[in-house]
Amino acid sequence: MTAGQTSRAEGLAAWQRVYSVLTHPRCINCHTATGYPQQGDDRHRHGFNVVRGQTGTGVPAFTCATCHQRVNADSTGVPGAPGWHLAPLSMQWQDLRDQFQTMDQIAIAEVLGLKPEQVTFHTEYAGGGFGRRTPLDSHVQREAAAIAKRLRGTPVKVMWTREDDVQGGYYRPMFVHHVEVGIDARGMPAAWRHVVVGQSHIIGTGPPWEGGLVENGVDELVVEGTADSRYAIPNFHVSAHQPTINVPVAQWRSVGMTHNAFVMETLIDELAVRAKIDPIAYRLALLSPDAKRLRNPLALLEEKTKAWRFRVPRNHAVGIACNEYHQTGVACAVEVSVENGRPRIHRATVTADVGMAINPLTLEAQFQGGIVYGLSQLVAGGAITFSDGRVDQRNFDGHAPPYMKDAPVAIDVHIVPSTEPPTACGECPVPVICPAVVNALFRLTGKRYRTLPLDSI
């Protein structure tokens, strides 16, 4: 094809051929969104329970190159190539779909009785349009197609009212954690038993999601941030219970990290206080030696906050939290007071190791936005509740987002200098803000906060 001489139909047909390659199991098995490679056309988990590791080449004792040599092994059938490894998560092709345009295109075609290639799908750059991009049933698209089918020849635009949207949504699942920790003479955890209970939005959806994210009945998104903790905790045991509940649920920005990071970071802070060790120093002492993507931001956070962290005004306090998500480490320090029964965040300093920073201004914007976004699970009135099977809230008078006064007065973002390949940034700042704020509140009130949102302080 020659540029400028290709029709739209030819371009779409060409893209379908490219897409068929990108979504072929032989590509997705290594361009996977999971923490391990997959095998075969059914994309089952790779044998020997091998894992991605920090560099995508497996763990030091069992790298990909252990079996995958520089060339194909005819005697065993094991394929080979120099430097065999998983593609970085930034190049995951698994579930490569508006966030999932192709699935929506297929859904519309089903309703209209067409072939998917007969449906033209225009993807808009929605910016902060976080709502209804990922329900796995494409229900809004199906609704629009069903109406259009009855009104042939008439353009149809479907818009939900705010009341319908709030009361007919897909909600972030509710989770409960039960944790028992034993400590040694130094105040470090010697044993940790962690039980996570909550609804999975993946189990029951079938392939490709369930096949790639559920193993032995456990949805890895339910326990991410706990089961893969970067803290070197001995005798560490995590289990999950995923009850089936008749509440429609979907993911929220940063998915399982929204609750797992909150629990882990508030408990780690509690242990640091008990041991009478600085919260940054305690985390650095507890992290695995190879957890560089978290060590680097914590060290940078200590440097960037030393001018103010120990000199805050009376009735102000500082809280710390950190987390690693999609191979990006983030640390956060906040200065907090209490005004009119609500936390007032006077400043937030965020440090991150994202590998090479291609566009630092974009990173700054993503991290500032992610911090404010994360506050939506902290502020009072942010919960969705049910009575007799119906949602109680109808609009923003009952479901309150963060207001201007809830946002930090200032958010400064610092990126760890690096020449490593770039990693994620969009979801990574969200999990750290809530634990950092409640860790600061403990120093003001002497109370530990175990439940979000904060209905009272």
The residue-averaged pLDDT of 321-350 equals 97
Same domain, 208 and 356: yes
357-393 tens-digit pLDDT = 999 999 999 999 999 999 999 999 999 999 999 999 9
The residue-averaged pLDDT of 406-417 equals 97
The residue-averaged pLDDT of 433-449 equals 98
Question: Which residue has 């060590």 as its token pair?
Answer: 295
At 455, the amino acid letter reads: D
pLDDT at position 100: 65
Q: Is residue 166 part of a domain?
A: no
Q: Is residue 104 part of a domain?
A: no
pLDDT at position 19: 66
The residue-averaged pLDDT of 2-28 equals 66
Sheet of 189-198, strand order: 175-183, 189-198, 236-241
198: helix, coil or strand? strand
Buried b (16+ CB within 10 A) or exposed e, 53-86: bbbbbbeeeebbbebbeeeeeeeeeeeeeeebbb
Q: Is residue 105 part of a domain?
A: no
Q: How confident is the model at residue 105 (pLDDT cuts 50, 70, 90)?
A: confident
At 332, the amino acid letter reads: C
Q: Is residue 106 part of a domain?
A: no
Number of domains in the chain: 2
Q: Are 294 and 329 in contact (CB under 8 A)?
A: yes
Residue 163 reports pLDDT greater than 90: yes
Residue range of the domain that includes 360: 175-445
Same domain, 92 and 181: no
Q: Pick the most confident of 49-53, 67-71, 172-176.
A: 172-176
The residue-averaged pLDDT of 306-335 equals 97
Q: Are 423 and 328 in contact (CB under 8 A)?
A: yes
Percent share of the chain, pLDDT over 70: 89
Same domain, 86 and 180: no
Q: What H or E segment, with its residue span, contains residue 42?
A: none
Higher pLDDT, 90 or 167: 167
Contacting residues for 378 by C-beta, under 8 A, at least 6 apart: 343, 402, 433, 434, 437, 438, 452, 453, 454
Same domain, 185 and 90: no
- The CATH number covering residue 289 comes to 3.30.365.10
pLDDT at position 98: 46
The DSSP annotation for 58-110 comes to EETTEEGGGTS-SS-BTTTTB---TT--PPPGGG--TT----SHHHHHHHHHH
Question: Which residue has 């942010």 as its token pair?
Answer: 382
Residue 315 reports pLDDT greater than 90: yes
Residue 144 reports pLDDT greater than 60: yes
Q: Is residue 380 part of a domain?
A: yes
Which domain-ending residue is among 66, 96, 126?
96
Q: Is residue 168 part of a domain?
A: no
Same domain, 59 and 183: no
C-alpha span between 102 and 20 (Å, rounded): 11
Which residues pair with residue 45 across a beta bridge?
38
206-263 tens-digit pLDDT = 766 787 789 899 999 999 999 999 999 999 999 999 999 999 998 888 999 999 999 9
pLDDT at position 378: 96
C-alpha span between 29 and 32 (Å, rounded): 6
Same domain, 92 and 192: no
Higher pLDDT, 228 or 3: 228
Q: Are 338 and 457 in contact (CB under 8 A)?
A: yes
109-141 tens-digit pLDDT = 999 999 888 888 776 655 555 556 667 788 888
pTM over 0.75: yes
pLDDT at position 124: 64
Which tokens hold the place of 99? 């966030």
pLDDT at position 66: 82
The residue-averaged pLDDT of 50-61 equals 78
Same domain, 260 and 405: yes
Q: Is residue 110 part of a domain?
A: no
Same domain, 326 and 441: yes
pLDDT at position 85: 85
Same domain, 298 and 426: yes
Same domain, 76 and 208: no
Count Cα neighbours of 90 within 13 Å in the Cβ-side half-sphere: 14
pLDDT at position 240: 97
Which domain-ending residue is among 48, 67, 96?
96
Q: Is residue 43 part of a domain?
A: yes
Which residues pair with residue 414 across a beta bridge?
351
Whole-number mean pLDDT of the chain? 88
Buried b (16+ CB within 10 A) or exposed e, 8-39: eeeeeeeeeeeeeeebeeebbbbbbbbebbbe
Residue 394 reports pLDDT greater than 70: yes
Which domain-ending residue is among 74, 96, 118?
96
The DSSP annotation for 344-394 comes to EEEEEEEEEE-SS-S-HHHHHHHHHHHHHHHGGGTSTT----EETTEES--
Same domain, 256 and 375: yes
Enumerate the H helices of 79-213 as residue ranges: 101-112, 139-150, 162-167, 209-213
pLDDT at position 3: 47
Q: How confident is the model at residue 95 (pLDDT cuts 50, 70, 90)?
A: very low
pLDDT at position 264: 98
Same domain, 271 and 420: yes
φ and ψ at 196, to 5 degrees?
-110, 125
Compute the 3-state secondary structure of the chain and give helix, strand, coil in percent, each to the nearest 5. 30, 20, 50
